[in-house]
Structure 1
Amino acid sequence: MQPHPPTTKGKVAMLNQPFYFENNWYYVTEPGALVALQVHGKDISFFVPYWFGVTETGSLADQSDAATLATLRQLGVPVLALLYNLAGVIHKLLTTENLRKLLITNILNMLIRKGFFGVNIDFEFVPPEDRPFLTTFMAELYQTLKPYGYLTTISVPPELRDDPKHPFSGAFSYPDLARYSDQVYILAYDEHVAVPGPVASIGFVRQVLAYGLSVIPRDKIRLGMAVYGREWADRNRLPKELSFNEAIATANRHGVSIRYNAVVQEPNFTYKENGVEHIVWFEDVQSFAAKINIAVQEGIPGIAVWRLGLEDPRIWELLRGMRRF
């Protein structure tokens, strides 16, 4: 399947400038996400489903579903199959040459069999010491897929500077991985997880993107954006994820006002239940537009959004005003 070609002229609503803008969405199979695909699929540039886990034997655990595949075929949406690492296997796969090559062969065969457009590598918890092996894997994957015309893309954690020893992002060398990728999705979110705070403040996004632009070619960058929220019920526990609709329903149920923080450019509210304070930060169309404006101002060709079905429905009107086909 080929991506939708540009055929009509449009303008970016915020800046009133002609601009091509890619609109890529991550996807996890669930009823609400499938409905969102059916309604908005024709507005999506690349569909990035969280479907293929890599195993310790170099095979792929296929979690694709028939209903979503049928909808994709009907709409003609190009797919970048997301590959993620199952717990505890990534070190062995990256550092063992025969397993690494077998995995790449299996990826190629999957793309041929499924008729997808390419892949998105979304490996988390790669040990920092495996940095050279992750780069080697991407080089070998890129060189294998390129002759077949498949896109090789990678999702990378947010970085403010290169820190090879960082326990979560140290394995990801932005410039090296960009060399062996057609697109790099810089995931500029999850600013606050352990403690309450914005999912992605405007200042955080600016800093992450500034570093990315300093070491990655501009045309390869896709700004990773969140459309979800987080609710902290105990400062000593990790938060739960909320969709936009769940966040609004929670505020309404407890009769509390939602405040938009103009400094960080994100809405939030608090409430008490059984004596416990709950703190909620989430993304809406206003916060989403603020971040897109940064991408447009910097000439970034598009975005990658986590994830379909969690978003403020008003986002689609905003995006339709930005794209031209």
Structure 2
Amino acid sequence: MQIHIVQPGESLYMIGKMYGVPYELIAQANELASETRLAIGQALVIPIIGSYYWVRPGDSLYKIAQAYGLSVEELAKINAINPAGILRIGQRLYIPQEKKTPIDALLYVEPRNPVSQDMLAEVRERVEQLTYLAMFSYEVQRDGSLKAPNTADILSIAKDAGVVNMLVLTNLENYGFSAELGHVLFTDQAAQNNMIKNAIDTAKASGYADIHFDFELLLPEDRELYNQMLRNARDQIHKAGLTLSTALAPKAGNVTTGIYGAHDYKAHGEICDFVVLMTYEWGYTYSAPQAVSPIGPVTKVVEYAVSQIPRDKIFLGQNLYGYDWTAPFGQADSKPARAFSPRAATNLAIEQNASIDYDTLAQAPHYTYYDQSGIEHEVWFEDARSINAKFRLLKDFKLRGIMYWKLGLSFPQNWLLLEDQFTIRKR
């Protein structure tokens, strides 16, 4: 696959001619709302096998070959050129497709009541590219009983496609994560055992193979109590023939205070069959405008994670959304940012005639626009370039796989590049 960045004056027809691909296929692959309108700076995935490289000043065949993991002889032979010859600036070279890397892919799904036909259709569309589907969520009550989501036909659709269904337990209470509820479950042994038993019984009855704890915003002093609960859960869950996993807040070190303090990377790595890193939300609803998952901070979290947890247990978390912030930014009276999909963010840029910039430090696209009232907005989102940066990180650190939050947010470029670069394991 080729990633192309729209330049001033380019049309979809011109881009198609450049790569020898019908422009209709490019529009279809990227799920473009219009075949006639593009945004300057917009990233497009060109549906070809392999990619092209145009020679730049200072390039050599050796330098280009090294960048793509090829020998000079291989690159010269593929392009039918003399390996000792001189390259021309602007000369097009074909780069063959890299060997696919085997990984696991995990996607959270948060069904509403009732479950829409659109959601069921999207589940059917995505299951072939998944190893796990995580049902968010079974809300644990203070007595250990579970408040179940409406799963409709989602579980059977996933199972028929060879996907492992995951039962997600949360400490959600009154629409927010509750540290108090977590403490009750850590200290009330009867409620804790009731929760574990109910989770196992539900898993066996409904066809879940993994029980996943997504307990967040816990009291930092409950760190070891949480670990003890997970050990108790592991013993009972494994005895029932199921696996145990957890979601971990993004930390770049052994932080023991604050809202992330209760998450003990080393302990979770020892206790659980696998973990998912929630490596997003640097930019969030009430923050100043910024990248949701900037590559620098994400990399630091991964570096710490692999120092504490076996790599084959770690999933890199990835957001399938961006935010639209309204001025004034980052103040106490600022409006909450609006979350929306990467596809919607791109369409809004086109609608507003906004040029999309790319922050190479954060590895994230962004733009500004003014609404009908003249109020400034700043948008940060994900595109083919930013997801490609996360894929490189995943490969470089040899992690088990990638986790997405969540189904229902359209990002067609992600799925194209995922299929192009990886073989998704079924377990």
The TM-score with structure 1 as length reference comes to: 0.91
Q: Which amino acid aligns with 2:353?
A: G
State the secondary structure of the residue aligned to 2:362.
Answer: coil
> How does 1:163-174 map onto structure 2 within 5 Å?
163-166=255-258, 168-174=259-265
State the secondary structure of the residue aligned to 1:314.
Answer: helix
The CA deviation at 1:208 is 0.8
CA deviations over 1:5-45 (Å, ceiling 9, x no partner): xxxxxxx9987356321111111125444322111211111
- Counterpart of 1:7 in structure 2 is none
Give the whole-Å Cα distance in 1 for the aligned partners of 2:159 and 2:307. Answer: 38
- 1:22 corresponds to which of 97, 100, 104: 104
Give the whole-Å Cα distance in 2 for the aligned partners of 1:70 and 1:200. Answer: 33
Q: Which amino acid aligns with 2:376?
A: E
Give the whole-Å Cα distance in 2 for the aligned partners of 1:319 and 1:149. Answer: 31
Q: What are the ranges of 5 or more consecutive residues in structure 1 without an aligned counterpart?
A: 1-11
> Is this contact kept in 1: 2:155–2:165, CA < 8 A?
no
State the secondary structure of the residue aligned to 2:260.
Answer: coil
Q: Which amino acid aligns with 2:182?
A: I
Q: Does 1:268 align with 2:366?
A: yes
Structure 1, 302-311 or 179-188: larger mean CA deviation? 302-311
Q: Which amino acid aligns with 2:408?
A: G
- Counterpart of 2:337 in structure 1 is 239
Q: Which amino acid aligns with 1:151?
A: T
- 2:140 corresponds to which of 54, 71, 74: 54
State the secondary structure of the residue aligned to 2:194.
Answer: helix
Q: Per chain length, whose mean CA-contact separation is higher, i.e. which structure has more relative contact order (CA < 8 Å, sep 6+)? A: 1
Q: Which amino acid aligns with 1:20?
A: P
The CA deviation at 1:91 is 1.9
> How does 1:284-299 map onto structure 2 within 5 Å?
284-299=383-398
> Is this contact kept in 2: 1:54–1:86, CA < 8 A?
yes
Structure 1, 225-234 or 154-163: larger mean CA deviation? 225-234
CA deviations over 1:183-213 (Å, ceiling 9, x no partner): 0101111112222100111111111101111
- Counterpart of 1:3 in structure 2 is none
The CA deviation at 1:125 is 1.6
- Counterpart of 1:38 in structure 2 is 124
> Is this contact kept in 1: 2:139–2:169, CA < 8 A?
yes
Structure 1 residues 270 and 18: alpha-carbon distance in aligned structure 2, compared to 1, 3 A threshold:
closer
> How does 1:187-266 map onto structure 2 within 5 Å?
187-193=278-284, 194-234=287-327, 235=329, 236-266=334-364
CA deviations over 1:288-316 (Å, ceiling 9, x no partner): 11111111111112111111221421222
Structure 1 residues 324 and 242: alpha-carbon distance in aligned structure 2, compared to 1, 3 A threshold:
closer
Measured on the aligned residues, the alpha-carbon RMSD in Å equals 1.9
CA deviations over 1:96-116 (Å, ceiling 9, x no partner): 111111111111111111111
Give the whole-Å Cα distance in 2 for the aligned partners of 1:24 and 1:111. Answer: 18
State the secondary structure of the residue aligned to 2:386.
Answer: helix
> Is this contact kept in 1: 2:130–2:424, CA < 8 A?
no
- 1:313 corresponds to which of 412, 417, 421: 412
In the alignment of these two chains, the number of paired residues is: 313
Structure 1, 229-238 or 130-139: larger mean CA deviation? 229-238
Q: What are the ranges of 5 or more consecutive residues in structure 2 without an aligned counterpart?
A: 1-49, 52-67, 70-97
The CA deviation at 1:127 is 1.2
- Counterpart of 1:323 in structure 2 is 423
Give the whole-Å Cα distance in 2 for the aligned partners of 1:58 and 1:135. Answer: 18
Q: Does 1:104 align with 2:196?
A: yes
The CA deviation at 1:47 is 0.5
State the secondary structure of the residue aligned to 1:38.
Answer: helix
Give the whole-Å Cα distance in 1 for the aligned partners of 2:132 and 2:207. Answer: 14
- Counterpart of 2:271 in structure 1 is 180
> Is this contact kept in 2: 1:267–1:284, CA < 8 A?
yes
The CA deviation at 1:180 is 1.0
State the secondary structure of the residue aligned to 1:309.
Answer: coil
- Identity score, percent: 27
> Is this contact kept in 2: 1:157–1:169, CA < 8 A?
yes
State the secondary structure of the residue aligned to 2:377.
Answer: strand
Structure 1 residues 261 and 33: alpha-carbon distance in aligned structure 2, compared to 1, 3 A threshold:
farther
Give the whole-Å Cα distance in 2 for the aligned partners of 1:137 and 1:284. Answer: 39
Q: Which amino acid aligns with 2:269?
A: A
> How does 1:144-155 map onto structure 2 within 5 Å?
144-155=236-247
Give the whole-Å Cα distance in 1 for the aligned partners of 2:119 and 2:326. Answer: 26
Q: Which amino acid aligns with 1:263?
A: L
Q: Which amino acid aligns with 1:190?
A: E
Give the whole-Å Cα distance in 1 for the aligned partners of 2:131 and 2:156. Answer: 17
> Is this contact kept in 2: 1:270–1:278, CA < 8 A?
yes
The CA deviation at 1:263 is 2.2
> Is this contact kept in 2: 1:25–1:306, CA < 8 A?
yes
The CA deviation at 1:146 is 1.1
- Counterpart of 2:36 in structure 1 is none
Q: Does 1:114 align with 2:213?
A: no
CA deviations over 1:236-291 (Å, ceiling 9, x no partner): 33322111222122222222122222221111111112132111111122211111
**Structure with greater Cα Rg:** 2
The CA deviation at 1:157 is 0.6
Q: Which amino acid aligns with 2:355?
A: S
Q: Which amino acid aligns with 1:148?
A: A
